[in-house]
Amino acid sequence: MTLLFKNLSGSSISARFCRILSPEAVSSDQTRDSVYEVAADMIAEAEHFLMRGDLWEQFFAAAVILDENPVCRIYERKQVQNDIFRMFAHDLWKMHKRVNAVKEMIDTDERFEPLRHMKDFLPRNKAICLRSKHSYDEVLLLASRFASASSPNAMTVALGAFCEKRGIGKFALESAFTWNSISKSLVPVDDIDPQTFNSLIGYESQKAELLANTESFLRGNPSNNVLLFGDSGTGKSSSIRALLNEPGFVGLGLRMIELRHDQFGDIPDILQLIRGRNYRFILFMDDLSFEEFEVGYKHLKALIEGGLERKPDNTVIYATSNRRKIVKEVWKDRATNSDDVHGRDTMEEKQSLADRFGLVISYPSVNKNDYLSIVKAISEEMGLTIEDSEMNTLAMRWELGRAFTGRTARQFVYHMLQQKTRLI
């Protein structure tokens, strides 16, 4: 298509949109079918992410952002080089002229009359989409600047400003990812958990430690890998997920990648993708634990502290576990008559994984009074109104066989709301 924009042959909607921008084929039946096919996909995605305005311009802007060509990567690192600036500006201008050609074709050809509303699109969907809330306004601004640009230089300046602020590629548009071990790729999380620290009741000192370490990391200052350990349901995982909704953190470059237990062997591939990027990555490992017969923890130990190829400075590991030492120990590890000649060394090795985490934060179960306070706070948040004494009696009855945790409290409130709904 162009000299610098080589990666627009992907399978995304934006990439397929750019492939129809061929002025030699704008009047063919094949192009007509392609335009309708891509338009249908664009409308579906626009509805899902509540996009509004000129979809042609917005999807073109998204295609350029996702392309990750060499010049955009230079902009992301704030290392602008003028030697290829003119070539890049020419390519960008040339592509945008094709966007205008498609829009003009739709305006003048009666076959495309149903698509004319896409220049002033309004979504019917009213749901809130959390995935794109941090980036959509910036993409919309870039699209409007592209549309109003009067020269190649103006377009390039607009794109450069976006790249310096948001970056480039999928990291510019998304903040949370999972890992696909088959395709060896990062997959954006469609619906990010809306959990915030304000809605996490209790554990104030623990949250303060976690926030302080994360903010230091985001600002490029010394920071530690973090292990949150404690009883189930105390808010360990919720605390880490809440970081994505902490005001300003995504703007400072926070990106989070969640890994399953069976994906730890793929960490070198992930580090290769994120090394040198102008973002700050948290590798999130939930419910981290190993049985005594598993040896995967040995590889994880090396990855946390780095081998010959050190862990990138823009990456930390945050993990949660119900075990303080992560790797399960058995009594034979400590037995004096064990078959293991160097039993103490074996025990030390199993304990050493937890030592790789510089910051270890305990999340214990709360006491009865704190549990009832959490119940009351969540009830007020959810609009559940019951007299305090009755609420406390029911909450204590619900807790029998469970534990004094935030999860138990929230499950109780949900149960009471369900009962209340049945009576209406």
The pLDDT tens digits along the chain (424 residues) read: 454 455 554 446 656 666 665 545 445 677 778 888 888 888 888 887 778 889 989 888 888 888 777 777 777 776 655 556 677 788 888 888 888 888 888 898 888 899 998 989 888 866 655 445 556 778 888 999 999 999 988 988 888 888 888 888 889 888 999 999 999 999 988 778 888 898 787 789 999 999 999 999 999 999 999 999 888 888 889 999 999 999 999 989 999 999 988 888 888 899 989 988 889 999 998 887 665 545 555 566 666 665 556 678 899 999 888 765 555 444 445 555 555 544 454 445 555 566 678 889 988 888 888 888 888 888 888 888 888 888 889 989 898 878 888 888 888 988 888 887 665 5
Residues 24 and 87 in one domain: yes
CA distances from 423 to 376, 417, 419, 420 (A): 21, 10, 7, 5
My answer on whether 204 and 348 are in the same domain is yes
Check whether residue 317 and residue 406 sit in a common domain: no
If asked whether residues 308 and 356 sit together in one domain, one would say yes
The reply to whether 2 falls in a domain is no
Residue where a domain terminates, one of 148, 173, 198: 173
For residue 8, being part of any structural domain is answered with no
Question: Quick one: pLDDT at residue 239?
Answer: 94
Q: What pLDDT does residue 224 have?
A: 92
Q: Give the per-residue pLDDT at 242.
A: 94
Judge if 347 and 392 occupy the same domain: no
User: Could you tell me if 324 and 373 lie in one domain?
Assistant: no
In a domain, 178, yes or no: no
Q: 387 lies in which domain range?
A: 368-423
CATH of the domain at 240: 3.40.50.300
Question: CB of 159 within 8 A of CB of 72?
Answer: yes
Alpha-carbon distance 193 to 191, whole Å? 6
Please tell me whether residues 389 and 305 are part of one structural domain: no
Examine residue 4 and state whether it is found in any structural domain, yes or no: no
User: Do residues 47 and 155 both lie within one domain?
Assistant: yes
Give the closest residue to 156 by CA, choosing from 74, 252, 45.
74
- Residue 1 inside a domain? The answer is no
Last residue of a domain, one of 173, 198, 220: 173
> What domain count does the chain have?
3
Residue 306 lies in a domain: yes
pLDDT computed for residue 293 by the predictor: 47
**Residue 254 forms part of a structural domain:** yes
Give CA separation, 279 vs 79, 229, 276, in Å: 15, 27, 9
Residue 158 shares a structural domain with residue 298 = no
249 in the same domain as 130: no
Note whether residue 304 is domain-resident.
yes
139 and 214 part of one domain: no
Three-class SS of the chain: CCCCCCCCCCCCHHHHHHHCCCHHHCCCHHHHHHHHHHHHHHHHHHHHCCCCECHHHHHHHHHHHHHCCHHHHHHHCCCCCHHHHHHHHHHHHHHHHHHHHHHHHHHHCHHHHHHHHHHHECCCCCCCCCCCCCCHHHHHHHHHHHHHCCCHHHHHHHHHHHHHHHCCCHHHHCCEEEEECCCCEEEECCCCCCCCHHHCCCCHHHHHHHHHHHHHHHCCCCCCCEEEEECCCCCHHHHHHHHHHCCCCCCCCEEEEEECHHHHHHHHHHHHHHCCCCCEEEEEECCCCECCCCCHHHHHHHHHHCCCCCCCCCEEEEEEECCCCCECCCHHHCCCCCCCCCHHHHHHHHHHHHHCCCEEEEECCCCHHHHHHHHHHHHHHHCCCCCHHHHHHHHHHHHCCCCCCHHHHHHHHHHHHHHHHHHC
**Shared domain check, 329 and 228:** yes
Q: End of a domain among 363, 385, 412? A: 363
Amino acid identity, position 269: D
